[in-house]
Structures are given as C-alpha cells and as structure tokens.
Amino acid sequence: MTGVSNMTDRNLALELVRVTEAAGLAAARWIGRGDKIAADGAAVEAMRIAFDSVAIDGTVVIGEGEMDEAPMLFIGEKVGMGGPAMDIAVDPLEGTSIAAKGAPNAIAVLALAEHGKFLHAPDIYMDKIAVGPGLPDHLVSLDASVGENLRNLARAKKCDISDLMVCTLERERHAEMIAKCREAGARIMLIGDGDVSGLIAVSQPETGVDIYIGSGGAPEGVLSAAALRCIGGQMQGRLLFEDDGQIERARGMGITDPNRIYSLIEMAGGDVMFAATGVTDGPMLRGVRRTQLGATTHSIVMRSKSGTVRTIEAQHNFSIKPVARG
C-alpha cells in the first residue's frame, strides 16, 4: 500500500486477523442462543477495541450505520492507534441470524484499502453477479439475461449449463431468477444468510459454486469485492434504491448515477487487504471451537498486492493474560 513498507504491510495483515479473531470469539459466545442483536453487539464491541492496537489512521466507510444509528463502528468513525490513512469496511458478524440459530456460515470480516478506494455504498440493497478467476473478461453482466449469462459461462468453462452451480440467498425476491436458472438447466445452492461467503465461493473450486447471482446488502458487496480483488474473479454491482430519499443520501456520499453498474475495481480499488474469521462452520472457514483452556479460531487473510492467501489456525488460552502494549 502507498506509504507502507512491504514488511509493515505483512505485519498489518496479521494485525487485521487479530481484529477479526476478537470479533469471532466474542460472537461465538452467543451461537445458538437465539439473540442476534446480542451476538452482533458483542462482535462489534470486540472489533472496535481490537482496532485500538492497529497501527493505522483508519476511517470506517462501510460499517454499522450512521453515527446517530449505531453506537460503535459507525460510518465515519476513526479507528486505529495512528499511522497510514486507510479506509475500513467491516461486518463484525456477517450472518447474525444464522449465528443466533447455530447455523453454518457466520463470519467476522473486514477489509482495508488506501484512502478513497472503497465505494462508499449506503446501507441499501445491491444487485450482484460474480464468477471466479481464469475466465474471459466481461463474461457476465447485470444487463444480460440469466440465460445469456449461464450460456456464456458454460461456453467459457467448456461444460453444459446443467453442470453449473448457481449460489444465491434464499429470498422471495429471487424466486423468478431461480426459476429462470432452473429452466435453463442450472443447479441452485440456496443459502440462508451470509452472501459475502457466497460470493467468495465462486473463487474456491472446492465449494462447487460457479456463479453468484442475486441482491443483498451493498456493504457486503464491497467486502466481497475486496476479497475477490485478492483471490481473483469478476464481479459487478448495481445499487437498488427504494425511494428518492435513498437516492439523495447516496448523492451525499458521492454517487451521482443511481443506475450505474460498478466493476470489481470500482468497488474496491488500489491495494486491498481482506481478513475473516469463522464463527460457525462454513465452506470457507471452520467456526470457533471451545477447548478446556480457551478456544481455537480459523481465519483467512488476503493481500491484493502479493496475491497471497493465508489460512491461520490460532489457539487462544484464556488463562494467560496478554501483556499490555505501549
């Protein structure tokens, strides 16, 4: 990243993992307890505290809401102990409902970019489409029909449409799109929540997901774009406005064309880092495991600068108090 040495860059990547680990461990205490608000609140508080020891001058541009809507990690909040100016995208608990139910695929996630390189997406819906790496540029498009996108993808992968797996959130608003996918012959993987993991799955062969299609939160779209910048893939996003009030709010954030389709690089540009820790088990990460002395976590950290993807399994011994810094 600009103004950050390569060694500092590597150290920063590990510091980000410590932040998602803290959020993941805090949220894990609420797995299966039916209280998604408490689970999210615990993750937010832990992530905010953990940021205090990270050597950045960070600004939250994708967070929990505006200052008057969320007490912690609000859009515009400053985090970090000082250092290079960075923009931060966070979702302390992506999949609050599934964590509360003890269901799979909840994660603690954040991304970091040079100042001004993240799309300042308001907390509204975004239409999204994504495929993995190694495919021709501009292969799929939000302006194309479902059938056309599937035909183009099957042709590029030298397979039948019936071999393709489409991942999407299980929502009533996706019923027509799902029907068109099945009519074309494709298979469907429905997920309850957690479309960050669903979008990232297109770049992980072991998941069996070939394409992600559907609408979900715009902040999650930016986080997903950050991950795909690091591990490869294609993605497009288009904000879905419900009324003029949302359009005006977006204009205040610098969005002038409400119908614009954003590319991967427009959502997450420059040098990007991405980190996530599993809260419950999923295809990308194992969830938090309690042990006799503490817990183990399974995390991933990615850097677009080097193209590296590291998985980290950490053992946390709660009987040993960490030494204070500074």
Mean pLDDT of 14-34: 97
Instruction: With respect to residue 326, please indicate whether it lies within any of the assigned structural domains.
Output: no
- Residue 252 sits in a domain whose CATH number is 3.40.190.90
Among 119-123, 146-150, 306-310, the range scoring the smallest mean pLDDT is 119-123
Distance CA 168, CA 177 (A): 10
Choice between 63 and 21, residue whose per-residue pLDDT is larger:
21
Domain boundary among 247, 267, 287: 267
CA distance 270 to 117: 6
Return the pLDDT at 122.
80
Question: Is the pLDDT confidence value at 19 over 70?
Answer: yes
Q: Which residue has the higher pLDDT, 91 or 252?
A: 91
Which whole number is the average pLDDT over 244-248?
A: 90
In the chain, pLDDT over 70 holds for what percent of residues? 92
The secondary structure element, H or E, covering residue 47 is: helix 36-51
Which residues share a beta bridge with 189? 167
Residue 214: alpha-carbon gap to chain centroid: 15
Has residue 299 got a pLDDT over 50?
Answer: yes
Q: Are residues 221 and 280 in the same domain?
A: no
Claim to verify: residue 292 and residue 172 sit in the same structural domain: no
189 and 255 in a common domain: yes
Identify the pLDDT of residue 7: 43
pLDDT of residue 209: 96
pLDDT at 325 over 90: no
For residues 251-279, average pLDDT: 94
Q: What is the mean pLDDT of residues 3-26?
A: 82
Same domain, yes or no, for 26 and 143? no
Q: Are both 171 and 72 inside the same structural domain?
A: no
Give the pLDDT of residue 2: 54
pLDDT at 84: 92
Q: Does the pLDDT of residue 66 top 60, yes or no? A: no
Over residues 144-156, mean pLDDT: 98
Same structural domain, 263 and 277? no
User: Looking at the domain assignment, is residue 159 inside a domain?
Assistant: yes
Task: Report yes or no: 203 and 135 within 8 Å, Cβ to Cβ.
Answer: no
Pair 218, 112 in one domain: no
Closest CA to 96 of 43, 147, 53: 43
- Let me know: does 300 contact 310? Beta carbons within 8 Å: yes
pTM for the full model?
Answer: 0.90
What is the DSSP secondary structure assignment for residue 173, as one 8-state letter?
G
Same domain, 258 and 144: yes
On the question of pLDDT at 3 being above 60, the answer is: no
Per-residue pLDDT for 73 more than 60?
Answer: yes
- Tens digit of pLDDT for each residue in 175-223? 999 999 999 999 999 998 888 999 999 999 889 999 999 999 999 999 9
pLDDT of residue 175: 98
Quick check: is 259 in a domain?
yes
Using pLDDT thresholds of 50, 70 and 90, give the confidence band for residue 121. Answer: confident
Of the candidates 120, 97, 71, 76, the one whose C-alpha atom is nearest the C-alpha of residue 219 is 120
Same domain for 221 and 171, yes or no, is yes
The answer to whether residues 134 and 226 belong to one domain is yes
Tell me if 323 is assigned to some domain: no
Where in the sequence is the domain holding 138, given as residue range(s)? 125-267
Is 85 in the same domain as 196?
A: no
Per the structure, the count of domains in the chain is: 2
Residues 276 and 248 in one domain: no
